A and B are shown apart, each in its own frame.
Chain A
Amino acid sequence: MKKWMIAITIGLLILFVSACSSGEHTNGEGSSDADVITAWAWDPLFNVAALKLAEEYYTQENEGFQLQIIENGQKDIVQRLNTGLSSGTMNGMPNIVLIEDYRAQSFLQAYPDAFYDLSEYFNIDDFADYKKEPTSFDGGQFGVPFDTGVTGLYLRTDYLEDAGYTPEDLTNITWDEFIEIGKDIKEKSGKYMISVNPNDPDDLRHMIQTAGVWFTEEDGRTADISDNEAVREAVRIYNALQEEGIAHINTDWSSRVAAFNSGSVVSVAVGNWMTPNIKAEESQAGKWTIVPIPRLPVEGAVNASNQGGSSFYVLNIPGKEKAAEFLASTFGSNEDLYQDLVTEIGAIGTYLPALDGEAFQQSDDFFGGQPIIADFITWMEEIPSVNYGMHTYAIMDILIGEIQKYKDGKSLDDALHDAQKQAEGRLIN
């Protein structure tokens, strides 16, 4: 017993001493220290890498500028930001944070004093139109737009050919036409047309944006579900994909990726950020091509949409001017940076003056020599602008519940009506 106690005591002492000595540099970091600008972002190969590139550019002219990038998952960042901001202390908050466009309004409106207005620092009109709504609030411009979530329909050309189709047959089609072709291919070759995750129906989002509407009205707060034709069509089509037997079911990110890496599906309808995962299966090189995303069969819908995409925000704490200047002169205006972003990390920005650069024209052999970046940019310019509002994810979850009931036999009208009622009853306005 005594030995036990001694061992513990010694262990404790060692840890204490080492903690005290290593503890020095852990104090006084983060927001209070304006010499080092901190930034929170997710994905080391994408957003974090982009920040690093920007830092390289910026330090060439601003010696002594120091950026500390703290890498966390998006979910983790959302949780930390909410906890920190709602505690009202701003303690340990970063200077710069990356926020997904779908969530931006909810942060800007829930914590109106927490963000720093960047209107004076850069010109939002230089960016793709659809990026403006999510990043601005109450006359202020709070976000510097970063990547585009422009979507495309990735296609296996070899599977299409076996079934007697060409990529042209799937170019600029509606989702109903997509289903018809899918049924035919399934019958002929047994291949699934697409893979979906009913518990995370993010396809609904890019589907309805093709029609230029969202789950909420223009104010971003009032739920617009039961009388919204685009939502109605999207839900019907999403369900039809499964009912018609042309959808492979995935359950999470890895099985979603596996669905196309293993060659189980003919097509992937998704944001351009999926490209690296498609290319990960090298044996499929040359067998893929990308065409515009199908549109909803409603009046005014276009074959262009967005899925995901995010922007940088500056928090209203010491160091905000420095952080704002950094963002303004990199992501806000540096054309060269955008060329490098494409060539080095494959990130497509939304800064219009940079988009006709050479880097954007290169062809990609994996996609049979298609200039995929240039194609994405063409589609990006057509993305209808919508206000993602405050309740995207809350309404998605309500819809998930009602879609399940619709699947189990409830009428589409009743399901959407109930979803509308739930949203009105529960969401704060």
Chain B
Amino acid sequence: MKLGSSKSIIGWLFILIAVIFISLFYFYPMLQALILSFRSGMGLNLEFVGLDNYIRLFNDPVALTAIRNTFIYLIVQVPVMILLAMFFSVLLNNPNLKFKAFFRTAIFLPAVISLVAYSVIFKYLFSTDGIINKFLLNLSLISEPIEWLMDPFWAKVLIIIAITWRWTGYNMIFYLAALQNVDHSVYEAAKMDGANSFQQFFYITIPMLKPIILFTAITSTIGTLQLFDEPMNITRGGPGNETLTISQYIYNLSFEYTPDFGYAAAVSFVIVILTIIFSMIQFRLGGDRK
């Protein structure tokens, strides 16, 4: 599309308000946080320390544990959730399916739940003598109860289950909507050619959903890298620091301990850098960048 210079100016006007608001309320504080990350001290008594905070970070085992945990969540949870969301959306996209609205709503609803209720209920369900363990014992899938909240491995699994429970339905809606725009005749044609369900899924559905997969992958990655609610409320970062996330550590450094906002800001920029790297990879893989 060729544009005259007046159209180009109009184009800038369209984005102007958004640019102003985002600059004022995000970039300006972000810049201040960046400056802060080169300073250290408690509360208001800050002094310039150069890169000390960043150096300190790489010698801080808790920060490194938090980064490692966050990575584990990211690598396991985001793909699982996206696949599940796609799976449900494909099931729900069946035109002959009854009670569609009910299933749709039910699976989406966890995204609306209050965090307080959600964390209390998860802790209760997954307690050592909780319903989940009783269920698994009855099915003889396990011989003794799993210490969901006390075992480093299972606590991570619990966090992953919790995030997946909460956000799968939310992401599913994106796919469901996208699928409704896919012309059904494409599938009919594929069936005529003898393609089975799996082939249809991999050769039609996935390519069609590519832009949406990219969108959900990037937003979920950002969400997981900033994960805070679940470990804060369900496991409190424990056992030990085994479920601690970067965001939770930032919160602790700023508010739970004697405030060290400079160091907290430095840790925050680790998230920024990680997010940039992952987003770039995803944009590359998604082939969206021209």
Contact = CB atoms under 8 A, between A and B. Distances in A.
B241 A400 contact: yes
Interface in B124-151: 124, 127-128, 149-150
B123 A255 contact: yes
B235 A199 contact: yes
Contact of B236 (A112, A199, A254): A199
Contacts, number: 107
B256 A393 contact: yes
A378 interface: no
Contacts of B56: 425-426
Contact of A85 (B44, B152, B242, B257): B44
A371 interface: no
B42 A428 contact: yes
A254 B258 CA distance: 28
B60 interface: yes
A428 B40 contact: yes
Given A86-B259, A109-B42, A109-B258, A422 B62 contact: yes
B252 A86 contact: no
Residues of B in contact with A, size category: 35 or more
Given A78-B255, A425-B59, A198 B239 contact: yes
Contacts of B120: 252, 254
A249 interface: yes
B125 to A, nearest CB: 11
A391 interface: yes
Contact of A404 (B62, B238, B259, B261): B238
Interface string B227-262: 000000001111111100000000010111111110
18 contacts: A82-B259, A106-B42, A106-B258, A109-B43, A198-B150, A199-B236, A199-B239, A251-B123, A252-B123, A394-B258, A397-B252, A400-B240, A400-B241, A401-B61, A404-B152, A404-B240, A422-B60, A425-B60
Interface of B: 40-45, 56, 59-62, 65, 120, 123-124, 127-128, 149-150, 152, 235-242, 252, 254-261, 263
Interface of A: 75, 78-79, 82, 85-86, 88, 106-107, 109-112, 198-200, 249, 251-252, 254-255, 390-391, 393-394, 397-398, 400-405, 422, 425-428
